[in-house]
Structure 1
Amino acid sequence: MGFTDFFSDVWDTFSHPSPDADAGGKASTNTPSSGTDEESGDEKDVNKDDAKDGEDSEQGHKPSGDDDEAEEEEEEETVDPKDELEEECRNSQGCAQPKHHFDECQERVTGQIESDGKAKEDCVEEFFHLAHCVTSCAAPKLFAQLK
């Protein structure tokens, strides 16, 4: 972008009035201001018609009744089998070593925070080792259930 291009862009930007600017800089009194609760004449007429129509029929949110409660009780909450399988794997012998390292790291970091007010390390690496172990253990069992 050259030096003259810059000035021509600036000139174009500031030389043309905004299309939504009012003439003479005065506020319009014909329509309500944006963000106010004022209604135009047309809106008042439509709202009056809606109010008249609303007397005959109900609209909007229906209050919950006995029917809704009965349906909720009948519906069983579905449980994600992935969560259960991962919990089993996390506590299994196969993931005992990564879980042990993660737990030790958490204890160290918690102790550092309590004594110094901040931690000198984090347990991200240990967490990812544990997550990898749990996922590797749970994935085959999960996909066997889904087939």
Structure 2
Amino acid sequence: MGISDFFSDVWDTFSHPSPDADAPPQGGSSTETPSAGTPSESKEEKDVNKADAAAPAESDAGHKPSGDASEASADADEEEEEEEEEEEKDPKDVFEEECANSKQCAPAKHHYDECVQRVTSQFEEHGKADEDCVEEFFHLTHCATQCAAPKLFATLK
């Protein structure tokens, strides 16, 4: 595709109006009330706005349950039971965290922690950082994953 083809395609794209641009509006429109965004308001709108301004503000904003108190207490009991049930932690996450803090991954963690300190101080001093710690993070994650894999598969068997 040459440069002249490019410009002719651009010309064709922008020179022809969209078929939707000339389409008549769908649905009916009211002629008695102003359109949205117009400064004038109808008599009904004025009355409603005055009533809203005169009405006292509710102190308890939000949804109030329509049921009786027994339904509310039953819902509270169900929520307490759900909170009591703790989900088991994923053993992969546990093993990787242990490995990341182990002697095996200490060099990678040391480099990552230094980088985080460096970037944090740059951000505090200048409002921006010249680098990020993505590479160090991936090195630490790789080390932790390699360390955790045998432990994880031993527990899965």
Give TM class, smaller chain.
0.5 to 0.7
CA RMSD, 1 decimal? 3.3
Compute the displacement of 1:71 (Å).
3.5
Query: Does the alignment pair 1:122 with 2:132?
Result: yes
Match of 2:3 in 1: none
Query: Does the alignment pair 1:21 with 2:27?
Result: yes
Please list the CA deviations of residues 32-72 of structure 1 after superposition, one character each: whole Å capped at 9, or x if unmatched. xxxxxxxxxxxxxxxxxxxxxxxxxx69xx32437536744
Match of 1:134 in 2: 144
Match of 2:58 in 1: none
Compute the displacement of 1:99 (Å).
0.6
Match of 2:91 in 1: 81
Provide the TM-score with structure 2 as the length reference. 0.53
Whole-angstrom distance in 2 between the partners of 1:80 and 1:106: 26
Q: 1:17 to 1:142 in 2, by over 3 A?
A: same
Please list the CA deviations of residues 80-113 of structure 1 after superposition, one character each: whole Å capped at 9, or x if unmatched. 2122111110111111111111111122222323
Whole-angstrom distance in 2 between the partners of 1:129 and 1:74: 37
Compute the displacement of 1:144 (Å).
2.5
Compute the displacement of 1:134 (Å).
0.8
Would you tell me which structure has more helix in proportion to its own residues? Answer: 1
Q: Which moved more, 1:85-94 or 1:135-144?
A: 135-144
Match of 1:96 in 2: 106
Compute the displacement of 1:126 (Å).
0.7
Q: How many residues align?
A: 110
Q: Which moved more, 1:120-129 or 1:66-75?
A: 66-75
Gaps of 5+ in 2: 1-8, 33-66
Report the identity percentage. Answer: 55
Provide the TM-score with structure 1 as the length reference. 0.56
